[in-house]
Structure 1
Amino acid sequence: MSNLIQYSVFDMDRTITQGGSYSPWLIYWAWHEAPWRLAFLPLSLLAGAAYVGKLVSRGRLKEINHRLLMGRRVPMDRIAPRAEGFARWMVPGRTFRGAQARIDAETAEGRTVVIATASYTFYVHAIAARLGVKHVIGTKSQRDASGAVLARLDGENCYDSAKRDMVAEALPPRETLHVRFFSDHHSDAPMFEWSDEGFAINPTPKLRALAETRGWQIIDWD
């Protein structure tokens, strides 16, 4: 193991943060940039019902909510300062102290810490920076020729097996690595299976049962 490149990969929502970040981000954005868009929240709930009914995919649901609450096109120079403000609101007040302590410990051990999340990278980078994490793998949005963010996914939604594939593509060859993975959710089972060590953090019942079967460590922090 000493000759391997050591990575520690963390899911973000409900693993590092105490709740989800995407819906709070959309509401935070609309509240500060275009409060009239909050009138679209009932439509957002209808889109959520369509997802539950399997009428739209998780990725398409993100695009719909993005379009409703942020708009079709937003210049990045407008998003960046709001992302910084949102990150200050999230960290440390809405993150687990145990998560920050573990990130710091993994870094001190000489491991490269990565956040791998289904949330959009255009605001996650600001959260990661406040946590002391330099590397982010997440869901990307398409950009126009000027670099403005569009309400369309660029590639896969970083979720389930797509997260594993995106992490595998971003990191060095698997045979050169030792990987620890931290997550709260059973949808990350492909990442757990791909990793050398798994840590189920405040796990869902399904993940807790899976962790007990697979021998992954279960940690309930804060």
Structure 2
Amino acid sequence: MARTRDNDKRGMNASAPALRTTLGASQTKHNARHGKRTPIVIATALIAAVLAVGGALMSGGSGGGGRAIPVSPIPGVTDDVQQSLAAYRGKVVILDFWATWCGPCRMEIPGFIALQNKYRDQGLEIVGISIDPIAPRGNPGGAPAVAPFIKDNGINYTILMVNNPGALKGFDVSQGIPTTYVVDRSGKVVRTYIGVKSMSVFENDINQLL
């Protein structure tokens, strides 16, 4: 699998299993390894849960995935990010892994709001995947912080929360958040960015894919 790396600002380290995307047969990854990131550490118990829950998901367990969840001040919950993403097949998707307590993540949100407003009618869907519920103790936020955050910041795109690390199956956030995937209309990941990126970078990708 070819990987191209785009190094700019520093972002948020995450100690988690390396979970690679499997949505397409071939992927071009464009990784901002040195973007702004905020360090996180996922506890050993949670890592163990990846193995246990991930195996169950691979054998068919999924909880309400595969359907679009309407934008609302109340975030949705996904037990399988890949299945939730399948609801957007036929659209260009910006899939952003973030948390309310991640400063670099918050920096990108106004830009994502603007992009969703500009390109929604042309087939763009921005989907934010909050990892607040699986953050280790000691971090502010958590699941109760997500809905007020959406409302207070006027977020106009879908937000899903993951309640266990197994929901991340198929995606790698081990190098930090924000981690953002650009997905084409066929459901194939064509870019991966780690760390804060200029919205012009995402807009360029969007214009190439719409």
Q: Normalization by structure 1: what TM-score?
A: 0.28
- Say which structure is richer in helix: 1
Q: Normalization by structure 2: what TM-score?
A: 0.29
Give 1 or 2 for the bigger CA radius of gyration. Answer: 1
